[in-house]
Structures are given as C-alpha cells and as structure tokens.
Amino acid sequence: ADVFQSHEEDDRKVRRREKNRVAAQRSRKKQTQKADKLHEEYESLEQENTSLKKEIGKLTDEMKHLSEVLKDHEKICPLLHCTMNFVTVPRPDTLASCLPR
C-alpha cells in the first residue's frame, strides 16, 4: 500500500509540474505577443510623428511665404492707404482692386 501511495504522489507531482510548465509557456508567449504589439505600435507612432514633423515644416514654410506676400501687398494696398481701420465696410469695387485677378 505504501509503494502504491508514493507512486500516486509521484504521478501527481509530474502532472502538476507539467501543468505548471504549460502555464508558464503560455504566460511567456502572451508576454512576447504583448511586447510585439507594443513594438508595432511604437513603430507606427514614430512614423506618424515623422510625418507630422514634415507637415509642420511645410506649413511653417507656407506661413513664412504668405507673410512675405502679405507684407509686400500691404505696401501697395489701396484699402490700407485710405482706411487704416476697417470699421467702415469697404466698397466692393475698392476691395476688388485689392484681390488678385
């Protein structure tokens, strides 16, 4: 009876060890998948960041260009020369001379 009991305990230990090994394996796999997903997300965000930085650069250049155009236009704008404040609504024909044809 004693030999039978110790054999049963060994069997239980082996099964428990196997169960634990499988669980550990599953846990490691889950962690790896999670890490992979985070890495993919990181790569994607890096790309988006680079793309947005490029867009900021383009928009900044455009803003500089438009500021220059506006500065040049202000020198010759009839609206700015006759009415320094826009409290009075400019007449359409005056405004038309200001707009590009």
CA distance 28 to 6: 33
- Residue 62 near residue 41, CB atoms below 8 Å: no
Domain count, the chain: 1
* Domain interval for residue 74: 1-80
Task: Report yes or no on 50 lying in a domain.
Answer: yes
Task: Report yes or no on 87 lying in a domain.
Answer: no
pLDDT for res 38: 98
Task: Report yes or no on 94 lying in a domain.
Answer: no
pLDDT for res 100: 58
Task: Report yes or no on 101 lying in a domain.
Answer: no
Task: Report yes or no on 96 lying in a domain.
Answer: no
- As to burial, measured by CB atoms within 10 angstroms (0-12 exposed, 13-18 middle, 19+ buried), residue 65 is exposed
> The whole model's pTM is what?
0.53
Task: Report yes or no on 23 lying in a domain.
Answer: yes
Low-confidence ranges of the chain (pLDDT < 70): 1-3, 81-101
Task: Report yes or no on 99 lying in a domain.
Answer: no
Task: Report yes or no on 34 lying in a domain.
Answer: yes
Measure Cα distances from 94 to 2, 20, 72 in Å. Answer: 112, 86, 18
